[in-house]
């Protein structure tokens, strides 16, 4: 409604409505507040919904912005083998996986991949190259993949709460452990190219 229509609807002067509009923090007299409450109750549903939306406070911008969960995944290779861990509790079909860990806010994913590999398996590795990123088709989390060279250490299960086992899987048998459809294609390609590299 216009100011004229609303003032006529309530039976008050136009100047009164204009004052309410100019100073929305005005405290009304009880009888005027009752008249407005009655007008709101009798208003059609669409008008009540618009009124509710108009008086709702604007959303407060959060000072802390959420960060999407990112997982750093290490594809650690040595001649003829790829390092795998057997997860204790995972999504169906993801029992065997590459060593991985959550990237903490502000941390570098490549550093997280190396750190988590050592923490989970006792294997020291070094990142050779970043293979790319994707949202994992099963878990829905953002994943960064790193091809890593084995440096030292005996593969062992150093995180028995999370993992059941740690092995060096034969490259030729990798897809017996992790279904090919769940492996990021650049990872499969890098492992195949690495397999063909002279030792």
Mean pLDDT across the chain? 82
Q: Tokens 């062992």 — which residue?
A: 156
pLDDT interval class at 62 (50, 70, 90): very low
Rounded (5°) CA angle 120-122-123: 105
Report the relative pairing of strands 96-97 and 100-102 from DSSP bridges: unpaired
Q: Pull the structure tokens for residue 77.
A: 């290779």
**Residue 3 binned pLDDT confidence (cut-offs 50, 70, 90):** confident
What is the b/e burial string over 55-71, where b = at least 16 CB atoms within 10 angstroms of the residue's CB?
eeeeeeeeeeeeeeebb
CB 124 within 8 A of CB 151: yes
DSSP track, 1-57: --HHHHHHHHTS-HHHHHHHHH-TTPPPPHHHHHHHHHHHHHS-HHHHHHHHHHHSP
Q: Which tokens sit at 70?
A: 């990112």
What is the Cα 32 distance to its own chain's centre?
50
pLDDT at 28: 76
C-alpha to C-alpha distance for 150 and 153, rounded to whole angstroms? 8
Vertex 197 angle, CA 194 and 199, to 5°: 110
Compare 88 and 51 and report the one with higher pLDDT. Answer: 88
The tens digit of pLDDT for each residue in 81-129 reads: 999 999 876 555 558 899 999 998 888 999 999 999 999 999 999 999 9
d(CA 92, CA 98): 16
Burial pattern 7-30, b for ≥16 Cβ within 10 A else e, equals beebeeeeebbeebeeeeeeeeee
**Tens of pLDDT, residues 148-187:** 999 999 999 998 888 889 999 999 899 888 888 888 999 9
Return d(Cα 182, Cα 96) in angstroms, integer: 11
pLDDT for the residue numbered 31: 79
Do residues 44 and 116 touch, judged by C-beta distance below 8 A?
A: no
pTM of the complete model: 0.63
Strand, helix or coil at 190? helix
């Amino acid at each position: 409604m216009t100011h004229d229509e609303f003032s006529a609807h309530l039976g008050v002067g136009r100047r009164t409505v204009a004052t309410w509009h100019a100073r929305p923090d005005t405290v009304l007299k009880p009888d005027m507040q009752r008249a407005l409450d009655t007008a709101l109750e009798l208003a059609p549903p669409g008008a009540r919904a618009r009124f509710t939306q108009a008086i709702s406070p604007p959303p407060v911008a959060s000072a802390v912005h959420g960060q999407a969960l990112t997982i750093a995944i290490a594809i650690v290779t040595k001649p003829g083998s790829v390092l795998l861990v057997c997860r204790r509790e995972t999504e169906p079909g993801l029992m065997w996986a590459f060593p991985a860990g959550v990237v903490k806010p502000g941390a570098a994913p490549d550093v997280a991949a190396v750190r988590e590999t050592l923490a989970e398996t006792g294997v020291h590795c070094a990142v050779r190259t970043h293979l790319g990123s994707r949202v994992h088709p099963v878990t829905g989390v953002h994943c960064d993949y790193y091809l890593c060279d084995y440096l030292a250490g005996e593969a062992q299960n150093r995180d028995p709460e999370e993992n059941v086992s740690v092995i060096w899987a034969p490259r030729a048998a990798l897809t017996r452990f992790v279904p090919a459809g769940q492996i990021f294609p650049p990872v499969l390609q890098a492992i195949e190219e690495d397999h063909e590299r002279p030792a």
